[in-house]
Amino acid sequence: MGKLFGTDGIRGIANQYPITSEMAVNIGKASAYLFKKENEPSSMVVGKDTRLSGDMLAHGLISGICSMGVDAYLVGTFPTPGIAYLTVSSRSIGGIMISASHNPYDDNGIKFFNQHGRKLSRPIEDEIERLLYGDAFDVISSKIAETGRVFSIDDAGHQYQTFLKQAISNEFSLNGMKIVMDCANGATYKIAPELFTDLGASVKPLFVKPNGKNINYHCGSQHPGKVIKAVVASGADIGLAFDGDGDRLIAVDETGNVITGDQILFVCAKVMKHQGILKNNLAVSSVMSNLGLRIALQNLGIHHVMVDVGDRHIMEKMMESGAVLGGEDSGHTIFLNHHTTGDGILTALKLIEAMQYESKPLSELAGIVTVFPQVLINVNVKNQPDLQSDPSIQKAVKSVEEKLGEKGRVLVRYSGTRPLCRIMVEGPTEDQTRAFARMIADVVSETLG
């Protein structure tokens, strides 16, 4: 049995296994069967980003869902965190988002939310895989006389914007604020500019003309260059860059400097601590977080816990520890007092709210975090054996760690969504850090490439 689920759902190249129309039908069947409540009306929410293959996969998923006697709410193009919200607000048994996040358009993926708007646990993902590789669906669905129907949530955008506004204070206003906004030709291209304009901001929208192929293409949270130029040229107060499905945010301060997810997490943690709402005085991040975040939080007396990469692991640790704030350097930030998953638009609102609370520009707030030089190298691999058991890789890692001492760190891990080994090194200087990362990457390439 092959492993379908990665760090965040099922992902691959569109129209190639497992991201095919046939698999979409069976995935719809498996999730509907697993989530369905016996003898109760059941529904699932289905949304997508702007990728060309989204329509194909949506119709396959919906066919599978309906064949199991479950209704489908088809939302169309919508941010991933919005699907999580609509799943809960519509009292559905689950939600599905069709997206490959920040990846190119020819990739696509299928993400799941349970009835509470949270990512699925590993055991539930394993159960879906077990069902997909079984042969019981034809027998089960043939006995279902009352198939599901397809409905639309016509005011989904309005509902979601109202939900987001509830997370900010009644006095919150963007009147007089100039914002540059990069929507990555993705799922936020309508909702985000509308919301911030409605709140009073003067918004300069970038990359809001999706054509199915230009999602994330030299734009969005991983390519903030255009936002930087626009912020500096227009004298904007802040730049906001979302990823293709809208669950990430990378910001740009008023001077044109990129503000990472770690820095956003710090700014929000600092304000929440001052406000007395940082529960358990704790912030959660992933092992990819910069060493500078850890030091800055320690200086404020805020406890810091790191977990494996993936916002699901962040959420699990937050639930376990009672934390209400967590995030990743990539831009996923979870405000558990307000939402069940990472939300780029919500993060933007809370970041600006923090700026207003402190009455300081973003450059000053984020500048407290000294970002250590960090180099990430991706190496294509043919297989993924246990990295800890390979003596040559471990020798290279140990050598670099000994040279860095307490002035840096090394992290070598496999990608959860692609056949890659990711080598991350932090160190005191850019040149030294890059040299160390390249040394380890060369060994990984020779061993696994």
Cis peptide before 193 (omega within 30 of 0): no
- Give the end-to-end CA distance of the chain in Å, rounded to a whole number: 24
How far apart CA 205 and CA 179 sit, in angstroms, is 8
**Catalytic-labelled residue, pool 67, 90, 101, 285:** 101
Q: Which residues contact 299 (CB under 8 A, 6 or more apart)?
A: none
Token readout for 251 is 């910001």
Nearest to 244 by CA among 312, 188, 328: 188
> In the annotation, is 101 catalytic?
yes
Are 41 and 73 in contact by the 8 Å Cβ rule? The answer is no
User: CA dihedral defined by 112, 312, 127, 36, rounded to 10 degrees?
Assistant: -40
Handedness of CA 256, 172, 187, 27 (dihedral sign): positive
Residue 210 sits at the vertex; the CA angle it makes with 205 and 215, to the nearest 5 degrees, is 95
CB atoms within 10 A of CB 169: 9
Residues classed as catalytic: 101
